[in-house]
C-alpha cells in the first residue's frame, strides 16, 4: 500500500474498507461540496457517509425486481425503516422485505435528504458484507451468527463490568448504539416530564445532530467539559432527561470530572450516558460511573478498518436499568452475520492493538510538541483535564491513538505534503490524518461566522487530527517532519 494512497482509494484495499482517501485539502473541499470531479473517483468510504458500491448494487437490483423507483434505502430492519419514516414525515413510502433486510423507496423529493441524514445519524444502512451476501444468494447462518455475537460479548464483558455479557447490546454501527442509548433514556424519562438533554462538550457530529433534530426535546450545549456549575444549574430545573459526554471528547480530547457529574445526575434524577469511542474500551473503565455506555467498535476493536459495529451497556445496578436495557434492545440493530464473524476474530486483539496504538501516539506527540511548526499538541493526558482522564484510566493503559495538532504552519500546505493515509476514522492499525472540522463541520469552517463559533467552543478550525498507527515510528515521524518543514 502506498504511504499516501490517491484520491478515492479505499483503505484497506478491500470491498469492505471503511476509509476513503482524500489526499489534498482541495479533495476534502470537493468531497464536501459533492463536486463531480471528486466523486467520480469515490466508490466506497466511511459507510454511514458514502454508500458502498455493493450496497448500491443490492438496492438497485431489489428495486428493479420489486418495480420500485425513486429514493432507495436498503436498511437493516423494518423497525428502523418505520422509525425513520416517522421522524422525517415521508408519506407514501414502500417498505419491502428483501431477504434479511428492508428496502424503503419513495419518490425523489425534498424529504430524500432528511431521510438520508437520519439513516446516517442512526447507522441503519445495511453493510457491504450483507449486500455482498445478498447479491451472491448466500443465506445467513443464524446459529453461527448467534455464536459469533456471543463470542463478541464475552470478549467485551471485562471492559464493560458490571454488566453481564449476555446483556451487552452489539449493534451494526457505533451511532446505532448512540441512538439506542438516547432512545432508551427518552422512553424512561419523557413520561416523567423530562425532555431536556445536556450535551457536555463538543461531540461527534452525528451525536449532536440526533439531539438537535429530536422532536419535542430541548437540547442544551455546554461547551466546556469543566463547567459543571452550568450543568448543575440546568439540572436544578428538574426537566433534564440525560447528560451525554464523550470520554474524552473528540477532537479536544478533554474529559469531564465524571465522579462529580455522576453525583449531580443522581441528585437531580438525570441519566448519564458516556461514550469512550475516542480512546476505546480497553483504555478507560467508564460503566461504573454511567447509566449507559455506548461505544464504537469500528475503532480499536476492528483495527483493520473493514468492519462497522458498536456496543451498548446498561449499568445493572442503576435505577431503571431493566427498562433502559429493554428499550435499547428494542431500538438497536445487530451486525449482519458476516460482519459479526469478522468482528469476533478482530476483537480478540482489541487490548493489544489499543496498547500499541497508545504507545505510538504518546511517542509521536512527544516529538511533535517540540516542533516549531506545531503550536499545541493535545492528547487525553496533556490537556488541562488530564487528571479526570487518569481517574478513569485502566491500569497500564494509555490515551488511545488520537492526537490533535494546532499548527503554526499553514494547514493546506501541511496536509497536502503529509505522506500518510488521509481520510475519516481513527483507532486503526495504520496512521490516518484528517482536517477534522473541514470534514465534520464544513459549512462552519468555510464562513467567518462559523469559524468564530468554532473558536468560541475552544477549537482551532484548522486543527489536524491524527490517529497514530502501527507503522515504524521513525517512518511516521519522517512523514510529519517533511510535511511541517518550512
Q: Could you give the percent of the chain with pLDDT greater than 90?
A: 92
CB 242 within 8 A of CB 220: no
Q: For strand 196-200 and strand 218-222, is the pairing parallel, antiparallel, or unpaired?
A: parallel
293 backbone dihedrals φ, ψ, rounded to 5° = -115, 130
CB 406 within 8 A of CB 455: no
Residue 49 has pLDDT above 90, yes or no: no
Instruction: Please state, in angstroms and rounded to a whole number, the distance separating the CA atoms of residues 21 and 11.
Output: 7
pLDDT in tens, 417-437: 999 999 999 999 999 999 999
pLDDT in tens, 408-422: 999 999 999 999 999
Strand partners, 407: 374
| Residue 142 CB coordination number (10 Å) | 10
Instruction: Please state, in angstroms and rounded to a whole number, the distance separating the CA atoms of residues 330 and 244.
Output: 21
pTM comes to: 0.96
Instruction: Please state, in angstroms and rounded to a whole number, the distance separating the CA atoms of residues 156 and 152.
Output: 6
pLDDT in tens, 189-226: 999 999 999 999 988 888 999 999 988 899 999 999 99
pLDDT in tens, 66-84: 999 999 999 999 999 999 9
What is the CA 132 to chain-centroid distance, rounded? Answer: 24
C-alpha cell of 113?
A: 435528504
C-alpha cell of 106?
A: 419513495
In the chain, what is the greatest distance between 2 CA atoms, to the nearest angstrom? Answer: 62
Dump the DSSP string for 157-205: GGGSTTS-GGG-EEESSHHHHHHHHHHHHHHHHGGGT--EEEEES---H
> Could you tell me if residue 216 is left (phi over 0), alpha (psi between -120 and 50 degrees) or otherwise beta?
left
Total length of the chain: 486
N-term to C-term CA, the chain: 28
- Average pLDDT value for the chain: 96
Sheet hosting strand 464-467, strand order edge to edge: 374-378, 402-407, 464-467, 432-434, 421-422
CB 389 within 8 A of CB 238: no
pLDDT in tens, 102-140: 999 999 999 899 999 999 999 999 999 999 999 999 999
Q: Which domains does the chain have, with CATH numbers?
A: 11-23+350-484 (3.90.1150.10), 53-126 (3.30.70), 142-348 (3.40.640.10)
Instruction: Please state, in angstroms and rounded to a whole number, the distance separating the CA atoms of residues 204 and 202.
Output: 7
**Can you give the pLDDT at residue 44?**
81
**Can you give the pLDDT at residue 420?**
97
Amino acid at each position: 500500500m502506498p504511504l499516501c494512497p490517491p484520491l478515492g482509494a479505499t483503505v484497506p484495499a478491500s470491498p469492505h474498507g471503511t476509509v476513503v482517501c482524500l489526499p489534498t485539502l482541495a479533495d476534502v473541499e470537493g468531497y464536501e461540496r459533492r463536486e463531480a470531479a471528486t466523486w467520480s473517483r469515490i466508490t466506497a468510504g466511511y459507510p454511514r457517509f458514502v454508500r458502498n458500491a455493493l450496497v448500491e448494487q443490492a438496492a438497485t437490483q431489489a428495486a428493479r425486481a420489486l418495480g420500485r423507483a425513486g429514493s432507495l434505502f436498503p436498511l437493516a430492519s423494518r423497525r428502523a425503516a418505520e422509525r425513520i419514516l416517522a421522524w422525517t414525515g415521508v408519506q407514501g413510502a414502500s417498505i419491502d422485505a428483501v431477504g434479511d433486510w428492508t428496502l424503503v423507496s419513495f419518490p425523489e423529493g425534498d424529504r430524500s435528504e432528511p431521510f438520508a441524514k437520519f439513516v446516517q445519524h442512526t447507522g441503519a444502512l445495511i453493510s457491504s458484507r450483507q449486500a455482498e451476501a445478498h447479491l451472491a444468494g448466500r443465506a445467513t447462518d443464524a446459529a453461527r451468527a448467534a455464536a459469533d455475537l456471543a463470542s463478541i460479548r464475552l470478549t467485551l464483558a471485562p471492559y464493560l463490568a458490571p454488566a453481564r455479557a449476555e446483556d451487552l447490546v452489539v449493534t451494526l454501527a457505533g451511532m446505532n448504539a448512540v441512538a439506542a442509548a438516547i432512545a432508551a433514556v427518552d422512553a424512561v424519562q419523557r413520561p416523567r416530564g423530562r425532555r431536556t438533554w445536556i450535551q457536555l462538550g463538543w461531540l461527534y457530529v452525528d451525536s449532536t445532530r440526533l439531539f438537535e433534530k429530536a422532536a419535542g426535546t430541548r437540547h442544551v450545549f455546554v461547551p466546556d467539559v469543566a463547567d459543571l456549575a452550568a450543568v448543575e444549574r440546568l439540572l436544578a430545573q428538574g426537566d433534564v432527561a440525560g447528560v451525554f459526554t464523550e470520554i474524552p471528547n473528540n477532537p479536544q480530547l478533554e474529559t469531564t470530572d465524571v465522579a462529580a457529574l455522576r453525583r449531580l445526575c443522581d441528585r437531580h434524577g438525570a441519566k448519564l450516558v458516556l461514550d469512550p469511542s475516542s480512546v476505546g474500551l480497553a483504555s478507560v473503565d467508564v460503566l461504573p460511573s454511567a447509566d449507559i455506555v455506548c461505544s464504537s467498535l469500528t475503532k480499536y476493536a476492528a483495527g483493520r478498518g473493514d468492519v462497522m459495529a458498536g456496543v451498548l451497556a446498561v449499568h445493572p445496578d442503576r435505577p431503571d436499568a431493566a427498562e433502559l436495557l429493554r428499550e435499547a434492545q428494542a431500538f438497536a440493530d445487530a451486525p449482519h452475520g458476516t460482519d459479526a464473524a469478522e468482528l469476533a476474530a478482530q476483537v480478540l486483539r482489541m487490548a493489544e492493538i489499543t496498547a500499541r496504538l497508545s504507545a505510538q501516539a504518546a511517542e509521536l506527540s512527544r516529538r511533535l510538541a517540540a516542533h516549531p511548526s506545531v503550536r499545541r499538541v493535545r492528547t487525553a493526558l496533556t490537556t488541562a483535564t488530564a487528571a479526570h482522564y487518569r481517574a478513569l484510566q485502566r491500569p497500564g493503559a494509555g490515551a488511545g491513538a488520537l492526537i490533535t495538532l494546532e499548527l503554526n504552519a499553514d494547514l493546506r500546505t501541511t496536509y497536502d505534503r503529509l505522506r500518510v493515509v488521509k481520510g475519516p476514522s481513527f483507532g486503526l492499525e495504520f496512521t490516518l490524518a484528517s482536517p477534522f472540522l473541514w470534514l465534520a463541520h464544513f459549512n462552519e469552517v468555510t464562513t467567518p461566522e462559523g469559524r468564530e463559533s468554532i473558536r468560541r467552543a475552544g477549537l482551532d478550525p484548522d486543527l489536524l487530527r491524527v490517529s497514530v498507527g502501527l507503522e515504524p515510528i521513525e517512518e511516521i515521524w519522517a512523514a510529519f517532519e517533511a510535511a511541517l518543514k518550512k
